[in-house]
Amino acid sequence: MTFFTIPTATSDVVADIAARAAKVRMMIFDVDGILTDGSLHFSPDGEVMKTFNVLDGHGIKLLQNSGVVTAIISARKSDIVLRRATDLGVTHVHQGAHDKRAIFEQLITETGIAPEACGFVGDDVIDLPILSRVGFAASVPGGHPEVRSRVHYVTQACGGRGAARELCDLILHAQGNYEAAIAPYLA
């Protein structure tokens, strides 16, 4: 029985996605368009405000609790992203990363995790250098067509609306850790 569906996908495609997700030891998230819906709200004094989804956040925590390292690589720099990452316990946070490939290379060197054991979810062409290197590349329905055509998996949920949770649950299922992750809530 599969734990996710992809309309029109063959069983071979579904099996490939599950196999790739099963190998993820570090999941890396872009922010704008992935952990948020991509909207930027500016206060009258110029402060940028973003909206994050609590389901996404809890999925990230469940993934961490299962032993998967989580990281953020974002081209934009925002204090609110650092605050959200801190709240979630994401210790690898790289912002203002206009050369995402260089940051990714630094991150895999720091962690010792091979690119094939990494997952990354991004939505724009700036993310392609990482998406082309990881073992599990994902995007969202609102992602740029060039990105969506080059990833292993496109979420059903939109960015900032459960896409990160969908990926976290998929990885937990693929690794056989989903039931253990939710068990404390069923007792």
- Res 47: pLDDT: 74
pLDDT at residue number 3: 61
Range in 2-6, 43-47, 94-98, 150-154 the model is least confident about: 2-6
φ, ψ of residue 136 in degrees (nearest 5): -135, 105
Residue from 138, 179, 180, 166 nearest 58 by CA: 166
Q: Which residues neighbour 15 within 8 Å (Cβ) at sequence distance 6 or greater?
A: none
Q: What pLDDT score was predicted for residue 42?
A: 81
Pick the closest to residue 117 from 29, 21, 30, 17 (CA basis): 21
**Total length of the chain:** 187
Reported as a single tens digit per residue, the pLDDT across 87-145 is: 999 999 999 988 999 999 999 999 999 999 999 999 999 999 999 999 999 999 999 99
Integer angstrom CA distances of residue 117 from 135, 153, 162: 6, 16, 23
Helix, coil or strand: residue 92? strand
> CA 22, CA 18: separation in Å to the nearest integer?
6
164 has pLDDT over 70: yes
Put simply, whether the predicted model's pTM sits higher than 0.85 gets the answer yes
> So what's the pLDDT on residue 151?
97
